[in-house]
Amino acid sequence: MPKVQKFTRRVPSPEMKISDATLRLHAGYTLKRAMNVMQADLARTLKPFGLRMITYSALVMIADNPGMRQAQLADALAIERPNLVVIIDGLENRELITRDIVPTDRRAYSLQVTLAGKRLYDKAFKAILAHEAEILSILSDQEREQMLAAMCLIEAAEEHWRTLHQEKKTGD
């Protein structure tokens, strides 16, 4: 089987029309492309506040759930506990949150937002809402609601789907 095809000319001109029609048939591909746009805008929006997506998410969760522990936060944000440590460290060093001692369980910390943390949270939250409203303005209110509902259904479907197949994740 000769692999030399230097004589088969296909004329790969720079003006050639590139098509990703096949990949567009995959919902995951289209979803990823759209999410990259949202993600990039979100990162730009948060940058002036010195926040990244994950640090902002952690700040919001702590502010909304005062006293929560790191393990709970990691679970809620769907990240591993070790990766949360540096995130919490950063927020604590900037005095946006505090790690308080839990009298009933001296292994754990009670996470609390500070006044400065809540102020930053409020500003970042409003900025994000404004940016997202701008990007999503191409969608009607109904389209936007239906899209978000569909996203929630997809996310929720995973648990249902896993239960159905009784995941054997221990071996694979």
* Residues engaged in binding DNA (CB under 7 A): 3, 12-14, 52-54, 69-72, 79-85, 88-89, 99, 104-109
Listed in sequence order, the residues at least 6 apart from 123 whose beta carbon sits closer than 8 Å to its beta carbon are 49
- AA identity, residue 28: G
CB-wise, 85 or 100, nearer to its own copies? 100
* Interface of this chain with its own copies, residues 101 to 160, rule: CB under 8 A: 101-104, 108, 110-112, 125, 128-129, 132, 134-136, 138-139, 143-144, 146-148, 150-158, 160
Q: At what angle do helices 27-46 and 53-64 cross, to 10 degrees?
A: 80
Q: How far is the CB of 163 from its own copies (least distance, A)?
A: 13
Task: Kindly state the DSSP code that residue 96 receives in the 8-state scheme.
Answer: S
Q: How far is the CB of 133 from DNA (least distance, A)?
A: 23
3-state helix, strand and coil shares in percent for the chain, rounded to the nearest 5: 65, 5, 30
Cβ contact 73:62 at 8 Å: yes
Instruction: From the list its own copies, DNA, none, pick the one residue 125 interacts with, judged by a Cβ distance below 5 to 8 Å according to partner type.
Output: its own copies
